Chain A
Amino acid sequence: MLADIARAVRRSVVRTIDAARAGHIGGDLSVTDILTTLFFSVLDVDAAAPLKPERDRFILSKGHCAAALYSVLALRGFIPEEELATFMQPLSRLNGHPNRRKIPGVEANTGPLGHGLPIGVGSAVASKLSGTGWRTFVVLGDGELQEGSNWEAAMAAGHRKLDNLCAIVDRNRLQQGARTEDTNALDPLADKWTSFGWETIELDGHDHAALHAAFTAPSAGKPRAIIANTLKGKGVSFIEDRVEWHHKVPSAEQVVIALEELSA
């Protein structure tokens, strides 16, 4: 079932970017299974009451992958599916980066990188202080981890043993201009999180069962980092693992091929 939903999300991403003639297709397709698993089998969120105080918090720190988030929010009932056709059009509320003031289900206006995890730390502290018990999930890009603010937040979360906080790294190994390891290497990435006091789980970021198990595993008494190994452009053969598809827009012919591949 999650596989069917993920396929629908990917098709929605391609159609949304095709309509807008803009977007970040590579990262949208790499993060799709993470978002699908969270929104359709883990998060306690309610489209009918998007601001209920005890809801789980989800923050997409890699806010440029808004088309994937909007597609998931549409399929989950937070926004109308037909509105996706307005993505990045003048005066649409579906900006290139998400805006909580306009879109239900969005907790933070991300876009500049390195902002989501600090906000997630604050949300996790708030959950503990209030005794409410919601969980906080933050999805980060891997290239984004070159921003120092992430490590300020990681240090604070480790120090405070925020076991209600889960960071998911979409480890597709590509950033805008080149491979992460050729730009400013992140490996050994799991060791970095572990040394900051986090429980670290490394898995296939397209494996819904593995993702679900990692999201729902019992507390280890510390924050959890999930390094989700993914393929940028997952599901579309000519986009997969190619740096030039960070925010390239497929041609009309390529859209047809992509949608065919994503129907299989």
Chain B
Amino acid sequence: MNAPAASLATAPAKAESFDCRQAFADELMTIAKADPRIVAVCNDSVGSSNLNAFQKAFPDRLINVGIAEQNMVGVAAGLANGGFVPFVCCASPFLTGRALEQIKADVAYNNYHVVLCGMSPGMSYGELGPTHHSIEDLSWLRAITDLSIVVPADPNQTRAAVRWAVDSGLPSFLRIGRFKVPSVSTEGDAFAYGRVDRIRDGSDVTLVATGVMVSRALAAAELLGARGISARVLNVSTIKPLDEAEIIAAARETRGIVTAEEAMVEGGLGAAVSQVVVRHAPVLMRLLGVRGFAPTGDTGFLLDHFGLNAEGIAAAALEIAG
């Protein structure tokens, strides 16, 4: 984290940042070359899911059902029934909103090994407006039994998460960020399913973040450090199932917890962490996320608008530990 914290206050970050979507597509290609079970299913989203190379290499294994998300998820369940491992690549708002019942019934309740890839989640579509913001996805999907929810924070984690999704045999949702982010993990041990990574230790307050918010939480920790406050930073790349031990430790060892997610606060990461905290070690919490339908603005503007930047996270932490 060499970039000055102030520059991270406005997203997308420009320097020293990397593309999760490209990492996703590259890893999927690599695995698909060796594993003929891998197929991609999409809804006219070949380009937006970076699947052009996949389509060129495996034209028969890219099933583009057109603009029909309910059918898309059902088709994926049928492909899984037939022994394939489908990666459903679709803009997250339409995948999770339009096809929610198919995700519940066809994928999770059937226990079919389908990998649902929510592309361009959160505020990725900025000025296209609330119809295109995928901010309810974490809330909706957390309520679905047997569906794992994985949110990689950087390209290393994205590649490792794709490998895990193939090997796991589990129905899963991967939330693949659209804008570039700084690297927050190491290549060798980037991602372990169900593990929360303590990527910075601290004793006064804990910042719990997921996905694109992780690098911003690290920047917030820098700001807090400058004010003499020691902030722990947790990267939650598996939201479900949640690593409760690391959350409980944070609640017991620091004075409070700030959660930050590019999603509605009703039901996402903050709610998941709260459920653990109230049961084991109640401490003050601040939940940062999206509240209400967003006004017009690009992604960076909107993240700033909702306080989802280093300053906003640091300010919330100061309310607890200031």
Contacts and interface: CB of A to CB of B under 8 A. Distances in A.
Interface of A: 53, 57, 99-101, 107-112, 114-115, 117-127, 129-130, 132, 134, 136, 148-149, 152-153, 155-156, 159
Contacts of B80: 122
A122 B70 contact: no
A121 B74 contact: yes
A109 B75 CA distance: 14
Given A57-B82, A118-B75, A153-B75, 14 more contacts: A101-B111, A115-B74, A118-B73, A122-B75, A125-B63, A125-B78, A129-B60, A129-B61, A129-B79, A130-B83, A149-B74, A149-B102, A152-B70, A156-B71
A127 B82 CA distance: 7
Given A108-B106, A109-B105, A156-B75, A129 B111 contact: no
Interface string B54-71: 000000110101101011
B81 A123 contact: yes
Contact of A123 (B65, B71, B73, B82): B82
B84 interface: yes
Contacts of B81: 57, 107-108, 119, 122-123, 126
A107 B112 CA distance: 10
Do most interface residues of chain A lie in helix, strand or loop, or is the interface mixed? helix
A122 B72 CA distance: 9
Contacts, number: 107
Contacts of B78: 118-126, 136
Contacts of B72: 118
Interface of B: 39, 60-61, 63, 65-66, 68, 70-84, 86, 101-102, 105-106, 109-111
Contacts of A117: 74
Contacts of A101: 110-111
A152 B71 contact: yes
Contact of A119 (B39, B61, B75): B75
Contacts of A132: 82
Nearest to A165: B78
Query: Sorted from nearest, which 10 A-B pairs have the closest CB atoms?
Result: A122-B78, A118-B74, A126-B82, A152-B71, A152-B68, A122-B75, A123-B78, A149-B70, A119-B78, A122-B79
